[in-house]
Amino acid sequence: MKLDLPDIEGTDVSDEDWRKTPASVKRFIAAVVVDFQKQVENLKGEVEALKGQVAELEEKLHTNSGNSSKPPSSDPPWVNPKKRKKGKKKRKRGGQPGHEGKTRALVPPEQVDETIKCSPTECEHCGCKDIENNDGDFLRHQTFDLPEIKPIVTEYQQYRYWCPDCEQWHTAMLPLEAGNGMLGPGLEALVGLLSAKYHMSKRGIVEFLEDAFGMEVSLGAVSNAEARVSEVIEEPVEELKTYVQEQPVVGADETGWKVAGRRAWMWVATTATVCVFLVRESRGADVAKELLGKLFDGILISDRWKGYDWIDKGRRQFCWAHLIRDFVKISERKGRPGPIGDRLLEQTEKMFALWHRVRDGTLSHAEFQIKMVRIRNKVEGLLEAGRKCGHKKTEGTCREILDAKECLWLFVDVEGVEPTNNASERAIRPGVLWRKNCFGTQSVRGNLFVERMMTVTMTCRLQGRSVLQYLTAAIKAHTMCQPKPSLLPEIMDVQTPQLALAS
């Protein structure tokens, strides 16, 4: 039964009137009041829950590459995650003041194929013919062009002969340098390079070979060439895997991949001169152990992914570029988390200003350690405040970071360790572009080609070597049954960090 209570606002109900009220009416009124109180409490709970949902949805709406692990390509056009400070002037495009420009160096005269002297017979401005040429004073201008490229076609004629002992006709065998397919070492290396480094599709490679060289090559020939290149570089890549697992400092990262439409991951381990890649359908610790070695005893620079938690905290450095995203996310929240996030970002900015001086050689590592004591204490104090701020997500993030706070400062305690994992992220970026172009791989053979070619191309880039020259030399050696050229660094110029951590 719905009760329509009268409007008693402004009325004066005395104690005498209340005593005269029948007990049944009093019980009814008390029950109605209790029911209303319950409804109010329920509505308050619903409002608080809806406020939490709205805040969570707003946070998701403002998630971008600057405050999460989302890639920059997913940012909408109006989002500029780098613009955090209000009033900060936007830099103009192009070279900045003080930037040292670069110009192309001229090729030495002995390497010039043709020299044309531009010596005028009259003044090009007024037409005067009485001019004097100074052969020793001239400007040098060089142009580069390509000659007409034609493939070298070699025909091997295998003669048949009769053997009286065997009493059979035989065919002469091909020499080792002939190989098995129609593509020679140079073209096979080029096919692998176009596919792996320049991310061209098989059909695109077929069209390129026809346009550039006038060659008609089938899609199957391109696929077979990729498989052969992958087989050739197997041993050098395995050497690099062993090498990386023995290094004192290694960076690691992983990104999404696709294998036959299924979710997979591309992993990378980097040093100063070597990169090693794996493609696996797992992002777990088992793959991290395969990449780094189960007995890995070096220092790992990585993000906070739990797949690396099997490594001792005293030998792990968290990437501060990833931590900055967490701090930005905290600073964008309302209430107590916002100021905490802002102050964490301020301390991080001061830290990197000092680190850049260490990197430039204007601040010694010992002085850096002294100056970092105050920043270190402030950051840990702010994280403690965040752990008790009353915001569930902020508390969880700060708690996770503090539980592994040893991983924040290894770059301060150990000379030779970087504070960020930027080298690994730069190394794996071409893999991201490859995935976007080809949508992943379809088989184990494709996975092997991707991880081996990524290893070779990125390692050659770090070592300043030509990928095409290396692949051609490796294929020739493989064809002649000779040892393949190694990709191991010839000169080890890596400073070994000392694990005598500062107290």
Supply the pLDDT for residue 501: 39
Query: d(Cα 404, Cα 475) in Å, to the nearest integer?
Result: 47
pLDDT-based confidence at residue 425 (cuts at 50, 70, 90):
very high
CB 469 within 8 A of CB 459: no
Domain ranges of the chain: 184-298+441-494, 320-413
Which of 11-25, 176-190, 463-477, 481-495 is predicted most confidently?
A: 463-477
Would you say residue 19 has pLDDT above 90?
Answer: no
Angle at 130 between CA 124 and CA 133, to 5 degrees: 70
Contact 470, 222 (CB under 8 A): no
Query: Tens of pLDDT along 241-261?
Result: 999 999 999 999 999 999 988
Residue 308 has pLDDT above 60, yes or no: yes
Residues belonging to the chain: 503
Phi/psi zone of residue 286: left (φ > 0), alpha (ψ -120 to 50 degrees), beta?
Answer: alpha
Share of the chain above pLDDT 90, in %: 55
* 328: nearest Cα among 65, 106, 129: 65
For 127-162, what is each residue's pLDDT tens digit?
888 887 766 778 889 999 888 888 888 888 889 998
For residue 290, what pLDDT is reported?
95
291 and 251 in contact (C-beta within 8 Å)?
no
List the one residue out of 484, 488, 458 whose CA is nearest residue 471: 484
Question: What is the reported pLDDT for 120?
Answer: 82
> Would you state the pLDDT for residue 1?
40
Residue 169 has pLDDT above 60, yes or no: yes
pLDDT band at 34 (very low <50, low <70, confident <90, very high): confident
- Residue 411 and residue 421: Cα distance in Å, rounded? 12
The string of pLDDT tens digits covering residues 36-65 is 888 888 888 888 788 777 777 766 666 766
pLDDT-derived band of residue 402, with 50, 70 and 90 as boundaries?
very high
Average pLDDT score over residue span 200-226 = 92
Find, among 199, 387, 198, 417, the residue nearest to 299 by Cα: 417
Structure tokens at 296: 């890995």
How many Å apart are CA 356 and CA 475, to the nearest integer? 43
**Residue 495 pLDDT > 60:** no
Q: What token pair was written down for 288?
A: 């991290």
- Banded pLDDT at 67 (limits 50, 70, 90): low
pTM of the predicted model, to two decimals?
0.77
pLDDT band at 74 (very low <50, low <70, confident <90, very high): low
Of 68-82, 187-201, 329-343, the poorest mean pLDDT is in 68-82
Please tell me the number of Cα atoms within 13 Å of 487 on its side-chain side. Answer: 37
Q: Has residue 491 got a pLDDT over 60?
A: no
**pLDDT average, residue stretch 108-112:** 91
CB 401 within 8 A of CB 408: yes
Query: What is the DSSP secondary-structure string of 181-212?
Result: SSS-HHHHHHHHHHHHTS---HHHHHHHHHHH
Nearest by Cα to 442 from 307, 304, 272, 281: 281
How high is the pLDDT of residue 250?
95
Helix, strand, coil percentages, rounded to 5, for the chain: 50, 10, 45
Average pLDDT, the chain: 86
Does residue 380 have a pLDDT over 90?
A: yes
* Per-residue confidence band for 88, with pLDDT thresholds at 50, 70 and 90: low
Over residues 358-382, mean pLDDT: 94
Alpha helix stretches (DSSP H) within 416-466 = 422-438, 444-463
Whether the per-residue pLDDT at 2 is higher than 50: the answer is no
φ, ψ of residue 501 to 5 degrees: the values are -70, 145
Q: What is the mean pLDDT of residues 182-195?
A: 92
**Among 395, 392, 391, 414, which Cα is nearest to 403's?**
395
Share of the chain above pLDDT 70, in %: 87
pLDDT band at 460 (very low <50, low <70, confident <90, very high): very high
Q: Which residue would you say has higher pLDDT here, 422 or 498?
A: 422
Residue 82 has pLDDT above 70, yes or no: no
pLDDT at position 270, please? 96
Q: What angle do CA 328, 332, 336 make, to 5 degrees?
A: 110
Contact predicate 251/321, CB 8 Å: no
pLDDT score, position 167: 87
- 418, pLDDT greater than 80: yes
Average pLDDT over residues 221-233: 93
CB 337 within 8 A of CB 382: no
> CA–CA distance from 370 to each of 70, 363, 373, 413 (Å)?
35, 11, 6, 11
Task: Give the residue from 2, 448, 482, 23 showing the smallest Cα distance to 259.
Answer: 448
How far apart are alpha carbons 453 and 450 in whole angstroms? Answer: 5
Rounded mean pLDDT of 85-91? 56
